[in-house]
């Protein structure tokens, strides 16, 4: 059985999703996740197959829009305390490795 009549999840798709999610998976993990994610999607097949045309999606349980507050200066987090939690810091900034394709 496949979800909502769609083809079953393939190992290649799982490998592609891992790239999107910035995770490196072993061959064993790829096999296991392909099987387990397919199980969960199969379980969702009945819901995926429901005819819900015209139903407005709910992103959020509260009817909220444009929650605003006055734009007033207020104390914020202490910079040294924040930087103190970072793995690597230089000159009061977060330090990261080279970003490919950008000038240093």
Partner 1 sequence: MTSGRSAAALAAAVRAQERRAADVVEEALAAITAGDGELGAFLHVAAEEARAAAEAVDRAVADGRDPGPLAGVPVALKDNLCTRGMPTTCASRILDGWRPPYDATVVTRLRAAGAVIVGKTNMDEFAMGSSTENSAIRPTRNPRDSSRVPGGSSGGSAAAVAAGFVPVALGSDTGGSIRQPAAFCGTVGLKPTYGAVSRYGLVAFASSLDQIGPLTATVADAATMLEVIGGHDPADSTSIDRPAPRPALDAGADGLRVGLCRELVDGVAADVARQVRAAADALAAAGARVEEVSIPELGWCLSAYYLLAPAEASSNLARYDGVRYGLRKDGDDVAAMNVATRTAGFGPEVKRRIMLGTYALSAGYYDAYYAQGQKVRTRVIEAFDRAYRGVDLLLGATTPSTAFRLGERVDDPLAMYLSDVCTVPSNLAGHPAISVPFGTGDDGLPVGAQLLAPALEEPRLLAAAAVLEAAAR
Tokens 């970072």 label which residue?
A: 86
Binding partner 1 (rule: CB under 8 A), the pick from 73, 77, 91, 103 is 77
Q: From CA 14, how far away is CA 45, in angstroms rounded?
A: 18
Tokens of 27: 């061959």
Q: Does 46 bind partner 1 (CB under 8 A)?
A: yes
- Tell me how far, at minimum, the Cβ of 9 lies from partner 1, in Å: 8
Beta-carbon count within 10 A of 54 CB:
5
Nearer to partner 1, 31 or 39 (CB): 39
**Distance of alpha carbon 57 from alpha carbon 11, whole angstroms:** 30
Among 7, 28, 55, 103, contact with partner 1 (rule: CB under 8 A): 55
Q: Please list the residues that pair with 90 across neighbouring strands.
A: 93
CB of 18 to partner 1, least distance (A): 7
Residue with tokens 């397919």: 38
**Which residues lie across from 93 on neighbouring strands?**
90
Contacts to partner 1 by CB under 8 A: 3-4, 6, 9, 13-14, 17-18, 20-25, 29, 33, 36-37, 39-41, 43-44, 46-48, 50, 52, 55-62, 64, 67, 69, 77-78, 81-82, 84-88, 94, 96-100
């Amino acid at each position: 059985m496949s979800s909502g009549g769609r083809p079953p999840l393939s190992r290649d798709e799982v490998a592609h999703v891992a790239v999107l999610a910035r995770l490196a998976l072993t061959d064993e993990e790829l096999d296991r996740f392909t099987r387990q994610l397919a199980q969960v999607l199969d379980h969702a097949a009945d819901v995926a197959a429901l005819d819900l045309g015209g139903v407005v999606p709910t992103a959020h349980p509260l009817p909220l829009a444009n929650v605003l507050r006055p734009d007033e200066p207020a104390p914020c987090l202490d910079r040294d305390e924040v930087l103190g939690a970072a793995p690597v810091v230089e000159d009061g900034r977060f330090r990261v490795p080279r970003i490919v394709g950008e000038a240093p």
